[in-house]
């Protein structure tokens, strides 16, 4: 199979992305809404959205928290532009950053909530633990991180896709860059990574097919 770099993959598919997610991904018509419901209704709540894309979760968040201040980070400039155009009336509430959130700093004790939706299933354990530590530090005391993501149903499934990705990269002499290839982890492993990063407690709060919602509390 052909591996595409992450930013290029999503830039090319911006026009069809929302239709694909809502009509071809099990539970998408539910989990964006369920994610938004987990966010407290607070005026001017400060939210960090990792991999914000075209803002399908942000569409739902604004319905619950119309004054939310959202910092969104995404590799795809085309996705970010589409998100901006959908919410021109709230452009002063959106701080959108084109970049790799694995490499960016988020600051300390800034956000009331951090979240990611269908984006973490592309990374290694080491990358995720390092990222989760930054997320932990970026949250105010007693706040939380929500992860809505595709997760592996068992360890064998997880091991297979990590091994396949490594095999493809090695056979083609590819550097371990950000390619669009799914390497989901089990719920248990995701929880353990979040705990290793410093979160006090992690709860599984929703599950449909291979999509799970976790909440990690600082």
Domains of the chain: 6-14+27-32+45-217 (3.40.50.150)
Whether the model pTM is above 0.75 = yes
Q: Where are the alpha helices (DSSP H) in the chain?
A: 6-12, 14-24, 28-37, 56-64, 77-86, 125-138, 155-172, 187-196
Query: For residue 3, what pLDDT band results from cuts at 50, 70 and 90?
Result: confident
Task: Work out the mean pLDDT of the chain and round it to a whole number.
Answer: 94
Q: Can you tell me the distance from the alpha carbon of 99 to that of 79, in angstroms, rounded to the nearest whole number?
A: 12
pLDDT recorded at residue 176: 65
Order the strands of the 211-217 sheet from edge to edge.
Answer: 94-98, 69-74, 46-50, 111-117, 139-150, 211-217, 201-208
* Tokens 């990222």 -> residue: 131
Q: Can you tell me the distance from the alpha carbon of 136 to that of 182, in angstroms, rounded to the nearest whole number?
A: 24
Reported as a single tens digit per residue, the pLDDT across 83-122 is 999 999 999 999 999 999 999 999 999 999 999 999 999 9
Tell me which of 61-65, 178-182, 198-202 is least confident. Answer: 178-182
Comparing CA positions, the residue from 67, 31, 70, 38 lying closest to residue 51 is 70
Partners of residue 111 on adjacent β-strands: 139
Query: For residue 139, what pLDDT band results from cuts at 50, 70 and 90?
Result: very high
Partners of residue 13 on adjacent β-strands: none
Reported as a single tens digit per residue, the pLDDT across 11-67 is 898 999 999 999 988 899 999 999 999 999 999 999 999 999 999 999 999 999 999
Comparing CA positions, the residue from 105, 142, 127, 112 lying closest to residue 178 is 127
């Amino acid at each position: 199979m052909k591996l595409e770099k992450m930013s290029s993959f999503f830039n090319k598919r911006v026009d069809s992305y929302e239709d694909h997610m809502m009509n071809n991904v099990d539970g998408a018509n539910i989990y964006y809404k369920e994610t938004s419901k987990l966010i407290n209704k607070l005026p001017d709540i400060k939210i960090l959205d990792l991999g914000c894309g075209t803002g399908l979760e942000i569409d739902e968040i604004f319905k619950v928290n119309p004054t939310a201040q959202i910092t969104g980070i995404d590799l795809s400039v085309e996705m970010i532009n589409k998100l901006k155009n959908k919410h021109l009336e709230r452009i002063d509430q959106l701080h959108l950053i084109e970049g790799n959130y694995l490499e960016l700093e988020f600051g300390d004790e800034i956000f009331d909530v951090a979240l990611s939706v269908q984006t973490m299933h592309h990374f290694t354990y080491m990358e995720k633990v390092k990222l989760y530590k930054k997320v932990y530090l970026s949250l105010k005391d007693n706040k939380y991180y929500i992860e809505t993501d595709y997760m592996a149903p068992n360890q064998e499934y997880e091991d297979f896709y990590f091994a396949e990705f490594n095999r493809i990269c090695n056979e083609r002499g590819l550097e371990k860059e950000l390619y669009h290839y799914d390497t989901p982890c089990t719920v248990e492993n995701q929880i353990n990574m979040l705990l290793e990063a410093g979160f006090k407690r992690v709860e599984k709060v929703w599950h449909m097919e291979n999509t799970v919602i976790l909440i990690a509390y600082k």
